[in-house]
């Protein structure tokens, strides 16, 4: 049994919540879900959420419009929750709110967690931070608004209940949230499956330009800064490309590389059955889960692919 949120709380009145850079569905869902739950427990609390700008489609969630970056003027907090982030470096500029918090609690599900605060609740077996938060909430007190946040987070981190991280418990949590009346179909269609014209163009391009290696067991594609500039694309426009690459028949590892600065790349890794991509990502200073992980790498595209390939091939028995 997980410790309940209520048991974690002391006399704290000013609470802030933050999560990882390039916020994804689980990050935004868990931060807004916890905010909504805390305000249900006590509407007089101050609960602020600090995150980098995130996809506009998440505005379906209550409290989305209140999300902002932490600034010195925000002052001190009695308590800070850090959600869905395995290390301090993943918080980007919002890490500065940790310096202004009396107490810090990290709630996460990354298997590559590097302890960075005293109070940590980390469950790698949870499909999403939102699933773990669900366990830490009293079901009776989960409002429809809170439920929608948690449902969105679980749906996103499981690829809408397709990935191997889904357990019986994941489905039971999702079932309980559906029982609260969440707009489950709208949430997955509007925030996970729907793509803008630009997103589809970038996806198409990445698929056309992809290369297979390791005898067809790996697939890689890259979007350069030049291409990003040409399309005036943002990082969030690349969401989902790696998942499409992973569906290529015969492929065990899919790699999607996006250039963020000249010869600096955000690398996304996915695997199907055998390869522990969290180990590969961790080797390059990143982290993640068994079948989904990421890291930052530098050099030319060919350096990056060669270096990755050296770490992946042994796991493929090559």
- What's the chain's length in residues? 318
Size of the site for ligand AMP (CB under 6 A): 13
Q: What beta strand segments (E) does the chain contain? A: 14-19, 46-50, 77-83, 101-108, 119-122, 211-213, 218-223, 253-261, 264-271, 287-288, 292-298
Taking the complex as a whole, the smallest distance from the CB of residue 278 to Mn ion amounts, in Å, to 13
User: Site map for Mn ion, 157-196, x if CB under 5 A?
Assistant: x---------------------------------------
User: Site map for ligand AMP, 250-279, x if CB under 6 A?
Assistant: ------------------x-----------
- Cα(142)–Cα(223) distance, rounded to whole angstroms? 41
Taking the complex as a whole, the smallest distance from the CB of residue 239 to ligand AMP amounts, in Å, to 8
Q: Which single residue brings its beta carbon nearest to ligand AMP? A: 294
- Cα(284)–Cα(263) distance, rounded to whole angstroms? 15
Of 141-149, 204-212, 287-295, 301-309, which segment contacts ligand AMP by CB under 6 A?
287-295
Q: What beta strand segments (E) does 23-174 contain? A: 46-50, 77-83, 101-108, 119-122
Taking the complex as a whole, the smallest distance from the CB of residue 41 to ligand AMP amounts, in Å, to 28
Chain positions 36 to 55 lying near Mn ion, rule: CB under 5 A, are none
Tokens representing residue 171 in the block: 């489905």
Of 74-82, 158-166, 224-232, 293-301, which segment contacts ligand AMP by CB under 6 A?
293-301
- Cα(255)–Cα(269) distance, rounded to whole angstroms? 5
DSSP letter for each residue of 178-236: HHTT--HHHHHIIIII---HHHHHHHHHHHHT-EEETTTTEEEEEE-HHHHHHHT--GG
33 binds ligand AMP (CB under 6 A): no
Instruction: Determine contact, residues 154/169, Cβ cutoff 8 Å.
Output: no
Among 23, 33, 159, 294, binds ligand AMP (CB under 6 A): 294
Which chain residues interact with Mn ion by CB under 5 A?
24, 26-27, 84, 128-129, 157
Which chain residues interact with ligand AMP by CB under 6 A?
20, 86, 90, 268, 286-289, 292-296
């Amino acid at each position: 049994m997980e410790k309940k949120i209520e048991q974690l709380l002391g006399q704290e009145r000013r609470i802030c919540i933050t999560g990882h850079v390039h916020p994804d569905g689980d990050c935004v869902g868990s931060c807004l879900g916890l905010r909504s739950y805390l305000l249900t427990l006590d509407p007089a609390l101050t609960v602020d959420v600090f995150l980098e700008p995130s996809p506009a489609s998440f505005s379906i969630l209550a409290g989305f419009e209140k999300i902002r970056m932490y600034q010195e003027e925000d002052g001190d907090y009695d308590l800070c929750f850090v959600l869905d982030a395995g290390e301090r470096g993943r918080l980007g500029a919002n890490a500065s709110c940790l310096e202004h918090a009396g107490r810090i609690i990290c709630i996460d599900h990354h298997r590559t967690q590097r302890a960075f605060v005293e109070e940590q609740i980390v469950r790698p077996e949870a499909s999403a931070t939102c699933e773990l938060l669900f366990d830490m909430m009293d079901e009776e007190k989960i409002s429809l608004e809170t439920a929608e946040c948690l449902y969105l987070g679980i749906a996103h981190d499981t690829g809408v209940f397709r990935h191997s991280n889904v357990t019986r418990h994941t489905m039971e949590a999702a079932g309980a949230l559906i029982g609260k009346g969440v707009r489950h179909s709208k949430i997955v269609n509007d925030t996970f499956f729907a793509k803008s014209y630009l997103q589809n163009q970038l996806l198409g391009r990445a698929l056309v330009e992809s290369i297979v290696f390791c005898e067809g067991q790996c697939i890689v594609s890259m979007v350069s800064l030049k291409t990003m500039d040409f399309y005036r694309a943002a990082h969030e426009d690349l969401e989902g490309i790696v998942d499409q690459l992973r569906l290529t028949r015969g492929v065990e590892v899919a790699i999607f590389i996006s250039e963020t600065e000249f010869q600096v790349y955000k690398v996304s890794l996915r695997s199907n059955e055998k390869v522990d991509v969290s180990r590969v990502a961790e080797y390059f200073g990143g982290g993640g889960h068994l079948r989904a992980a990421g890291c930052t790498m530098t050099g030319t595209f060919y350096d990056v692919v060669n270096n990755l390939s050296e770490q992946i091939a042994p796991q493929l028995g090559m």
